[in-house]
Structure 1
Amino acid sequence: MAKNGDGKEPVGFETGLKGRAVCVAGLGVSGPPVARALLRREARVVVVDGRDDEAARRCAAELRSEGARVELGGDTLPEGTELVVTSPGWRPDAPLLRAAARSGIEVIGDVELAWRLRPAGQTWLAVTGTNGKTTTVRMLEAMLRADGRDAVAVGNVGTPILDAALPREDGTHTGILAVELSSFQLHWSSSLRPYAAAVINVAPDHLDWHGGFEPYAEAKGRIYSPGTIRVMNSADEWSVRLATEHGDPEATLVGFGLGTPRPGELGVVDDLLVDRAFAADPQNSAEELAGVADVVPSAPHNVANALAAAALARSVGVAPEAVRAGLAEFAPEPHRISHVAAIGGVDYVDDSKATNPHAAAASLASYDSIVWVAGGLLKGAEVDALVRAAAPRLRGAVLLGADRARLRAALDEHAPEVPVVDIDDTDDGDTAMSEAVTAAVGIARPGDTVLLAPAAASMDMFTDYNVRGERFTDAVRALDR
């Protein structure tokens, strides 16, 4: 039997906030909701942010009017601080956080604060991984709602976790949270105890923040708290390792994968998603949950996301038919393997969200003949293995962005016969993307897929991956016109 992951927050934490000096580090997405939650509990709040631009000053003015002290343009720990609540992106070696550590002052994140302040009876189902987190929690939310549950997806999906976790004005609260957790948020969480949790995959990312791959992976593994039902990707070495070596050995262990499931797993049989973990008789039978065709898009990694979401949903008793209904209601986020157009027998697909090699590899494995549009900021990531695996599928490649030379070198070594076009313009993202699409048209043949899967971050030429995807879409639609 699984232990209930509903752990207890430190006794008296909420009542102990009254009059307590709390520093909120960062005015990003999480900072203002954190400050307001603390102010409502009569804490003495000081917000610190290194920025001093117009947006920061505007936000600071709002918080000051609500009773917070705000210090812009610095990162010094305010005198008398008793607790620090940091934004996820602040690195542990930031001067303010180092000063707190030297002084023995506790540092937590917004997720940990939400956990400690959550109402009794609220269930958390948590998801982490290098890629696919947002898709998985949104699929999970759809399955829960199809089963009639009061549920909401939180994290990097538009809803700050504090806003969803805390009681509403009428005193009611959301029953189940489908929580997307980054490695940063897990690093700053100490007492978090989800009912069930999944690590859907682990690949090198954010290594500069964590100081290496193993610390990054181990931060992901903190999601498997004492008593938490462990959902693992049976095909991912680190997911298995974290679940079996870092999770609670007495808690239920559930695997998922694209093959035929064994007892205790979810998997795929004859193009059907099936459950042999939560079925009535998992040793001898399976429950049909949905068809592979119900997963949109039906790329292998997205089917794996659906299985992870189904495992979490089934852990709280969601009916098989609600899994299928949830997948039918689910609409993918933009820029995640989004089909843009079919022109002259060539498909154009936008996966701008593939911001690292692991995500790009999943995209490239989904198509047979590809003109690959790639490049940007690689952030130190290695690309040789990616290119080596993708080489048999490549009709050609079009490279843009700051680190395109590293991709070109990998292509020259591992796919020397593949034609490659370099887009030299790194100043004007709009023009460069238009040139990239035009170059891809010149290489593509009927039956090919022109795939934007950059394997790199976008900030060298675009505001973010959304803008990069939009520029690709605009350029393709201009062709169609």
Structure 2
Amino acid sequence: MGGEPVTRRDPLALGRQDSWDGVRAVVAGFGVSGFAAADNLTHLGADVTALDDSTAGDRPEKGELLEVLGATVRLGEGSTATLPDDVDVLVTSPGWRPTAPLLAQAAARGVPIWGEVELAWRLRDPERPAPWLAITGTNGKTTTVQMLHSILTAAGLRSAAVGNVGMPVVEAVMDPTPYDVLAVELSSFQLHYTRSMSPESAAVLNLAEDHLDWYDDMAAYAADKARVYDQVQRACVYNVADPATEQMVRDADVVEGARAIGFTLGMPRVGMVGLVEDILADRAFVEGREQNAAELCTIADLASPAPHFVANALAAAALARSHGVSQAAVRDGLRAFRPDGHRIAEVGEVAGVRYVDDSKATNPHAAQSSLQAYDPVVWVAGGLAKGARFDDLVRATAGRLRGAVVYGRDRDVIVDALARHAPDVPLITLDDDETSSGNDPMERVVAAAAGLAREGDTVLLAPGCASMDMFANYGERGDAFAAAVRRRQGRG
């Protein structure tokens, strides 16, 4: 005699108030978002198997905890080679390409593939589903999400910055104390595996070359970014200076009644937020906007007057205003906000030369935005280019450059762009031997930049590249730059 047949559940029909007993879920990747997904699926009663080829960090300890709760955790080399049998849903961590063996096998079998963001959307509390204000773009996502969170908090709302920054989204939606609203940062990787999300409002800040080592081409990258506008309920916020973002709004399938709201560093037209001299002004969410604009704050209220920082503030304000936040709360939230480290952070002055750390500028678009905030500037750049090109950046900023110091594995990509478009700009190229000796590869970089700079100049670390050829991450790179500057101050 056989046992009782196993009852299988369709995860596509389940939410947080349903029993997930009988659902066989595989979680691919056991980092921060992977653990959150596995933990909450286990809590809901699913039969969870978590897989990761890495044992780095606290993965083993978290794995032991989940196994006590009934999950299966397999870590170490080869763990993700084969998808287990009888899988109902696979939840992947962001960054896993569809060609990864585990995901390719799931697709071939017709197994639904969700990201942690998709899972979180399905697990919202149906009685108090906190609306999502979603932000993506090539650059500025984290700063804009944190600005938005600061504004929402100033309005007295229980908010959280989640997603690609802060806590995983699934943790926020499963919190026993519901949030009033969530500021959600979404990368293109997260959006790639998201299908059912319907944010209250969403913004694409900009679009530029990035992650072309992951995507086949820019069209595929842009298509994933554009997903953030799908089923938007109130406002699609776009960058007036970036026509690609406006086209995404035009092409989006939104909820009837959703509005297109532009942000601009110029004078705002009706339906936009923008600048009136030094005032951040709203002509989108005020009565009589055909003739009137509402003052939100001034540029002096912001932590930086850099153009890209002001643009981020306008985007955050537009999203907050779409949620019904007052002008005063926008002002108070933006006044209170201070960016994280390694974002246009002044680290010191030596002999009349300012040194600024924007190590977070990990692609050419971000570096260009940073360079356009300073004049004249000695540009410090290099690292892993991720398939990006620098011609547009150099063409746009050549007139500002006092000089350039270029280092790192893909330095030749930058050197070639400078040779084509700024041949008269003094250039120092540091080879691997000059930046790899000892424990401080930035010492020689800062010394070279100081040699090019004159009193009144700015030496700007805006690498335009990822850091992992020489550093653990962009934070370590920025710390090394700042430490080298401080040592130079001590010798001055």
For the residues of structure 1 that align with 2:270 and 2:397, how far apart are their CA atoms? Answer: 34
Provide structure 2 residue ranges, at least 5 long, that are not aligned to the other structure: 1-10
Corresponding residue for residue 349 of structure 2:
342
Q: SS of the counterpart of 1:209?
A: coil
Residue correspondence of structure 1 range 250-265 to structure 2 within 5 A: 250-265=257-272
Residue correspondence of structure 1 range 363-442 to structure 2 within 5 A: 363-424=370-431, 425=433, 426-428=435-437, 430-442=439-451
For the residues of structure 1 that align with 2:62 and 2:160, how far apart are their CA atoms? Answer: 26
Corresponding residue for residue 275 of structure 1:
282
- The 8 Å contact of residues 15 and 124 in structure 2, kept in 1 or not, is answered as no
For the residues of structure 1 that align with 2:324 and 2:279, how far apart are their CA atoms? Answer: 20
Q: Cα–Cα, structure 1 residues 82 and 480, in superposed 2: closer, same or farther, change >3 Å? A: same
Deviation at 1:238, TM superposition (A): 1.2
Q: TM-score, normalised by structure 1?
A: 0.95
Corresponding residue for residue 194 of structure 1:
199
Corresponding residue for residue 129 of structure 1:
137
Residue correspondence of structure 1 range 25-424 to structure 2 within 5 A: 25-52=28-55, 55-72=58-75, 73=77, 74-75=79-80, 76-120=82-126, 121=128, 122-168=130-176, 172-228=177-233, 229-248=235-254, 250-424=257-431
Q: Structure 1, residues 74-115: CA drift from partner, whole Å, max 9, x if none?
A: 221111111111001111111111111111110001111111
Deviation at 1:12, TM superposition (A): 3.5
Q: SS of the counterpart of 1:47?
A: strand
Aligned mate of 1:465, from 463, 474, 477: 474
- The 8 Å contact of residues 119 and 167 in structure 1, kept in 2 or not, is answered as no
Q: TM-score, normalised by structure 2?
A: 0.93
Q: Cα–Cα, structure 1 residues 81 and 428, in superposed 2: closer, same or farther, change >3 Å? A: farther
**Counterpart amino acid of residue 285 in structure 2:** F
Q: SS of the counterpart of 1:137?
A: helix
Q: SS of the counterpart of 1:208?
A: coil
RMSD: 1.6
Q: Structure 1, residues 99-144: CA drift from partner, whole Å, max 9, x if none?
A: 1111111000111111110113311100000000000010000111
Identity of aligned residues (%): 50
- The 8 Å contact of residues 89 and 184 in structure 1, kept in 2 or not, is answered as yes
Aligned mate of 2:22, from 12, 19, 23: 19
For the residues of structure 1 that align with 2:174 and 2:411, how far apart are their CA atoms? Answer: 45
Name the count of aligned residue pairs.
470
For the residues of structure 1 that align with 2:312 and 2:437, how far apart are their CA atoms? Answer: 35
- The 8 Å contact of residues 279 and 299 in structure 2, kept in 1 or not, is answered as yes
Q: Cα–Cα, structure 1 residues 429 and 390, in superposed 2: closer, same or farther, change >3 Å? A: farther
Comparing 442-451 with 46-55, greater Cα deviation is found at 46-55
Deviation at 1:422, TM superposition (A): 1.8
- The 8 Å contact of residues 430 and 471 in structure 1, kept in 2 or not, is answered as no
Q: Structure 1, residues 342-389: CA drift from partner, whole Å, max 9, x if none?
A: 222111000000000000000111111011111001011111221122
Q: Cα–Cα, structure 1 residues 142 and 52, in superposed 2: closer, same or farther, change >3 Å? A: closer
Deviation at 1:399, TM superposition (A): 1.1
Q: Cα–Cα, structure 1 residues 173 and 54, in superposed 2: closer, same or farther, change >3 Å? A: closer
Provide structure 1 residue ranges, at least 5 long, that are not aligned to the other structure: 1-8
For the residues of structure 2 that align with 1:52 and 1:331, how far apart are their CA atoms? Answer: 35
Q: Cα–Cα, structure 1 residues 53 and 479, in superposed 2: closer, same or farther, change >3 Å? A: closer
Comparing 71-80 with 107-116, greater Cα deviation is found at 71-80
**Counterpart amino acid of residue 310 in structure 2:** V
For the residues of structure 1 that align with 2:27 and 2:103, how far apart are their CA atoms? Answer: 11
Comparing 403-412 with 211-220, greater Cα deviation is found at 403-412
Q: Cα–Cα, structure 1 residues 194 and 44, in superposed 2: closer, same or farther, change >3 Å? A: same
Q: Cα–Cα, structure 1 residues 429 and 134, in superposed 2: closer, same or farther, change >3 Å? A: farther
For the residues of structure 2 that align with 1:88 and 1:16, how far apart are their CA atoms? Answer: 26
Q: Structure 1, residues 190-221: CA drift from partner, whole Å, max 9, x if none?
A: 10000000001011111232221111111111
For the residues of structure 2 that align with 1:385 and 1:225, how far apart are their CA atoms? Answer: 30
For the residues of structure 1 that align with 2:422 and 2:438, how far apart are their CA atoms? Answer: 27
- The 8 Å contact of residues 429 and 461 in structure 1, kept in 2 or not, is answered as no
Deviation at 1:250, TM superposition (A): 4.4
For the residues of structure 1 that align with 2:243 and 2:213, how far apart are their CA atoms? Answer: 22
Q: SS of the counterpart of 1:263?
A: coil
- The 8 Å contact of residues 210 and 387 in structure 2, kept in 1 or not, is answered as no
Comparing 210-219 with 353-362, greater Cα deviation is found at 210-219
- The 8 Å contact of residues 30 and 160 in structure 1, kept in 2 or not, is answered as yes
Q: SS of the counterpart of 1:437?
A: helix
For the residues of structure 2 that align with 1:458 and 1:63, how far apart are their CA atoms? Answer: 33
- The 8 Å contact of residues 27 and 48 in structure 1, kept in 2 or not, is answered as yes
- The 8 Å contact of residues 197 and 231 in structure 2, kept in 1 or not, is answered as no
Deviation at 1:227, TM superposition (A): 4.1
Q: Does 1:451 align with 2:492?
A: no
Deviation at 1:438, TM superposition (A): 0.8
